[in-house]
Structure formats: structure tokens, C-alpha cells
Structure 1
Amino acid sequence: MRVTSFHYFLRTAILLGFSSYIVYLVRSDALQFYIAPRMMFYDKIASVILYVIAVFQGYVALRAYWGRPVACECEQPVTRSSMRNTVAYGLLILPLMIGFLLPDTALNSTMVAAKGINLSAGTSGFAKPKVTSAAELISTPSPTAISSDNPYNLPSQPKPATSDKTTPFAQPTAAPEALPVSQQDAEIAKLFQPSDAWNEDFAKIGVILYKKDRIVVDPEIYMEILSTIDLFKDNFIGKQIELTGFVYREEQMETNQFVVGRFAVSCCSADASPYGVLIDFPTAQNYPKDMWVKVTGTIQNGHYNGNDIFKIAATHIEKIAAPSSPYVYPNFEPLQVLK
């Protein structure tokens, strides 16, 4: 009975350990380093369930110690093999000890080097927004209301003056009248024609981003914005952009280059994937790996490892403190953030 009681007491301690560890992570705000916010509720429920099971195991252990075991004839007998017991309990105790003894830190450039950085967010399947209808984004007039003369006559791209070819001298012309707001939106929409159903949602996001004087990459919709720019990068060349992330650098990069990246997490840290943007800056070598920075610059075409990507020609880089929530997660309602 004493041997059986020992096994139940050990199981009680292990279950209480896991339950307590989850509580510790929640109270220290370190749970976000391991799982996505949408999964935290289930983890908290699991801690309660583990605690209840631990209490029952403790009750069974005490009954066995007092010589009054709970017999339901439905449980697996305790094995007497020391090797099997050591391996079985060791597989549970070892990760629990690692969790309590090692510091809770976010993933960094060491993990990026192991997984490899992705500089083409549009080719990933991570960001798949669920957006509302196009009617809520743009007010599209009838086809007859859209001018066929220079369809890209947009507010940010004024129409150049033309000359009268019937005279030997160029004649100045009056500035073209501004297009009605609805027609401007329709002309902008022409720039974002999706190639398939997958890109349709990103095209709608692109319409909104195109109208902004500066694109601020909000961490809440980090992947959705980068994916949109990557898919329609020709429309954003020369556009001002601002984003934050940690510095990552590879050996083959030039001295004026580094990557500003973040880990995108769908469920937990096990499926974390590093994404980032290549940065060009004259003094890029002054920024060490894993430093958190805020980069401001303009979007340009770039090439890296034989791939066509977009890069940022930085005009200002500011060192910042690491955010309390360093990862980014999929957002299925990005338009609610953009509005």
C-alpha cells in the first residue's frame, strides 16, 4: 500500500506542478511567449481541470496510505518496474523543471537563423483576412462615369500638362479638375485587381492603404499589411511606411542592410514563423541583432537571394523598448483596425 500511495502522491505533485505553472505564467504575463491569445482561455481552463484531478489523486493517495484504497477495478495497476516508472515520470517532470528553472523569454534571432527569415509575406498562407463586401470600402460609379482617358489620374499622381501639337510652341493648359470622390475611389480600385479569389481580400485592404499618406504597420494587422504590400508592391513604390520589429542580420547581407522582423504565431510558439522586411540604411551595422527599432522610410523594389521583394529605404531608425507582446497573430477582421 505504501508503494501505491507513493505513486499517487507523485502524480498529485506533478499535476499540481503543471497547474501551478500555468497560473504562474498567467500572473507574470509570460503565457503570451508560448501560446496565442485566442488559446489562453483554454489553457486557463486546463489549469483548473488539472487542479481538480490533482485533488482527487491526493485523496486516493491518502486512502491508500491509510490502508483504505479506492477500488473501482477500472484503473491500470501500478507497474513495479523501476525503469518504466523512471522514464514515465521523467517525461513529465523534466519539462516541468525546465519551465520553472529557465527564464521566460520571447523568440529571437537565434530561432530565426534556425528557421530562416521570410521576406515575402504575400507568398505565405498565414494571413487570410475575412473582410466585408467591397461596397463598404469604395463607392464605385457606373462604368460610363469612369473616364477612359488616363485611368490612373489619381490625387497622388496629378495629370501632367499637355501641349497643342498644331502650334510650334507648347501652350499651357489649365489644371485638370479634381475627380469626384466616388470616381477617385473607382480609379484607385483599378490599381488593385486581384489575380484570384485568394488575393481579392488583400486587394480591398490595398485600396485603403493606398489612400494613406504614410502606412503605419500596426502589429495588430502586421501580416495582413505586409502581405498586401508584397502582393501589390508596384502600387506602393515610393510610399512612406513605418514599422517596428527586432533586428536580424545574415552573413551575406551588405553592411548597409538588415531585416526588421517579427514572429507570426497562429496557435503556439511551436508554429511561430519569422517574417520581416529588408532595410537599407547607411549605418545599418550600428544596430545589433535582437535590438528593437522603429523604422521610417519609403517602399522600394528590392532583390535578395534571387527573389524579387520590397524593401524599405530608411530615413530614420529609432531604438525602442521591446513590446510587452512581441509576437503578431492572424487578424480575421483587419478592416476594423484600418477604419
Structure 2
Amino acid sequence: MNHTRKTSYHHFFRTLILLGFSSYIVVLSKSDSLQLYIAPRMMIYVQIASVVLYIIACFQGFLALRAYWGKPVDCECNPPVPRSILRTILAYGLLILPLLIGFLLPDTALNSTMVAAKGMNLSPAPTNMTTPRAQSYNLPSFPKPATSSQTMQADQAQAVPTVQTNSEIEQLFQSPDEWNEDFAKMGIILYQKDRILVQPDIYMEILSTIDLFQDNFIGKEIELTGFVYREEDKMRADQIVVGRFAVSCCSADASPYGVMVEFPTALNYPQDMWVKVTGTIQHGHYNGNDIFKIKAAKIEKIEAPSSPYVYPNFEPLTVLKSLNP
């Protein structure tokens, strides 16, 4: 009788733990916080898992009642009951501890603390290019007449090339291999826009395109949003990085990507503040690497978006055409 009563307690603890995890997933889904931990395409599987956990919890509860009533519950479908108190505490503690942390701590997006640990990536272009960018493109020059604003800013003296025919534009965006053909096609579309809007839906794809063909976009106006990050010992007072976390599956694989931004009052924007930056694309150099940067004309504080992360898009051309008809 004592053995069956002890068994019922174990099944009861398992029931509570399973119900806890199932409830936690439901709470995250109801509060729209699940997206802080996993990519949207994975949410449906996690939500289905919460239903499965609930069903298993009900089964464990049934076994707990049978054991409490003194009825046999031994079967091969359950793990053996720990024989020592220490093993019991360790086994259940490994499950209860993360559950308590999840319920008790606030749900927050990844921030500059994680960036400091992982490092900010300022060159989002794919690494499968067969030749260095500087030697891959022998780009023709099509100077644009200087405007009054350009004459006022020396760093914008090198203007965006302009061409008259589609064939000349296509010549600017020759892909070195088949892996970068979509980026070349995106470059053609972005090149013809008066202002490049870095949309969250294709955030990484747009930045990768600019990075691959950055010589074509020098002087081009750009607008993007992100959180502020600063390396105090390495960046100048007029420099910040505006970036976002790119997530493939879950927050564990998140990688921070951003763009160097230069603005006279950059120090006024603290770490993790969300901002919208408007400026022009320029050549940059940081930590021994050639990058593109934004010479900001305006930086505005904004509210953090409900979905702070960006995700890989497998049809960036389709999205770009729909967002920029």
C-alpha cells in the first residue's frame, strides 16, 4: 500500500509539471510573447505540443488516482520511479526550475547584453561568394548631376550612379554565381527606388544586397529601424550601430546584424533604444573591415515593435515586389 501511495505521488508531480509546461505555452501564445522565443513558422508546432502535453498530463493524473486507490499502474509506458529522495529532487528539480523561471521572470526581447556576448555583425552579405567583392565587379560610372544638398555635404559628393536603360542597370548587378542571383535581381529593384526602405519582412535580404553591391548604392537614401548598440571603447562619439536579431528557429540561434550609423548627437541615443534612421549610404571601415555605413540626416525615437526579430525569407523577390510595387 505504501508503495502504491508513493507511486501516486510521483504521477501527481509529473501531472503538475506537464500541466505547467502546457499552460506556459498557452500563456505565451495568449500574450503574443511566444515570438520572443521561437520563429513564427515554429509556433504551430509548439502550440500542438502544448495540446499533446495536456493529454499526457491527463493520463498521468489518471495513473496517480489509480495508484492512490491502490490499483496497479505498472506498465512499460512510464519511466521507473526514483528510489532515493536525492534522485527524486534532482529529476523533478531539473524540470521545475526552468518552469519557475519562465513564469516568474518577465518576457523580454534579446538586447545589447546578448550583442556584447555574441558580437554585432556589420557585414550581412552571404559568405558563399566565389571571389572578393572588390575584384568581382568592374562597375561603369554614370555620374548624377549634383544637387544643392549634395554641394552642402562633402561626404555626399560621390552620388548614386544613374543610367538610362535597363541593360545598363543590369550591367551594374552581375551575379558572380547562381547563389547570389536573387540578390542581384533585388539590387536592380532597389537601385531604382528614390529611397530604400529596409522592410522587416526582408531585412537581412535587403542589407545583404546592399553589402554585396555597395558600390552601386553609395549616396543612395535609406531608411531602417532597429535598436541602438554601442561599443564604448571602440566607437567614436558620433557612431552607433542600429540593428536587429535575426532568428532562424528560436532565440538560441539568434544573431545580431546591424549597420553603422554616424550622427553628430549619437550619444543622445542610449543602448537598446529603438530608433528610425534616415540618411545616405556611404563607404565605411570598422575593426579592419570594409563595411557600408549610414550618414544619418535624421534619427527618431520609436516604440519597440511587437515583433522585434527578423527572420529569413525564402521568397524575398516576391515580398520586395509586393512591398515596393
Given that 1:259 and 1:278 are in contact with CA atoms closer than 8 Å, whether structure 2 keeps it comes out as: yes
Q: 1:110 aligns with which of 94, 113, 120?
A: 113
Corresponding residue for residue 250 of structure 1: 231
TM-fit CA distance, 1:196: 1.9
1:28-107 to structure 2, matched below 5 A, reads 28-73=31-76, 75-107=78-110
Q: Structure 1 residue 254: deviation in Å?
A: 0.1
Provide the C-alpha distance between the structure 2 equivalents of 1:200 and 1:219, rounded to a whole number of angstroms: 21
Structure 2 alignment gaps of length 5 or more: 129-138, 146-162
Distance 1:249 1:75 in 2: 52
* 1:329 lines up with 2:314 in the alignment: no
Q: Establish whether residue 3 from structure 1 lines up as the match of residue 6 from structure 2.
A: yes
Give the AA of the match of 2:237. Answer: T
TM-score normalised to the size of structure 2? 0.86
Query: In the alignment, which residue of structure 2 is the partner of 1:286?
Result: 268
- Structure 1 runs (4+) deviating above 4 angstroms are 151-154
SS in 1 for 2:71: coil
**Structure index of larger Rg:** 1
Q: CA deviation at 1:72?
A: 3.2
Paired residues of 1:152 and 1:188 also in contact (CA < 8 A): no
Matched residue SS, 2:125: helix
Deviates more, 1:98-107 or 1:83-92: 83-92
Check 1:74–1:52 CA distance in 2 against 1; reply closer, same or farther (3 A cut): closer
Change (3 A) 1:77 1:152: closer
Alignment of 1:105-184 (within 5 A): 105-123=108-126, 157=144, 179=164, 184=165
Matched residue type, 2:259: V
Q: Which residue does 2:168 correspond to in 1?
A: 187
Shift of 1:87: 1.0
| Alpha-carbon displacement from aligned partner over 1:17-39 (angstroms, at most 9, x marks no partner) | 00000000000110000000000
Task: State the distance in 2 between where 1:271 and 1:244 align.
Answer: 22
Confirm or deny: 8 A CA contact 2:281 2:295 kept in the other structure: yes
**In structure 2, the residue corresponding to 1:122 is in which secondary structure?**
coil
Given the two structures, how large is their TM-score scaled by the length of structure 1? 0.83
Q: Percent of counterpart pairs with the same letter?
A: 74
Aligned residue pairs, count: 290
Deviation at 1:197, TM superposition (A): 2.1
* In 1: Cα distance, 2:77 partner to 2:29 partner: 35
Q: CA deviation at 1:124?
A: 5.4
Aligned partners of 2:141 and 2:245: how far apart in 1? 39
2:27 maps to amino acid = Y
**1:153 Cα offset (Å):** 8.0
- Give the distance between the partners of 2:6 and 2:72, measured in 1 at CA: 12
SS of the residue corresponding to residue 293 of structure 2 reads strand
Deviation at 1:123, TM superposition (A): 4.0
Looking at structure 2, the residues matched to 77 and 113 of structure 1 have their Cα atoms a distance apart, in angstroms, of: 44
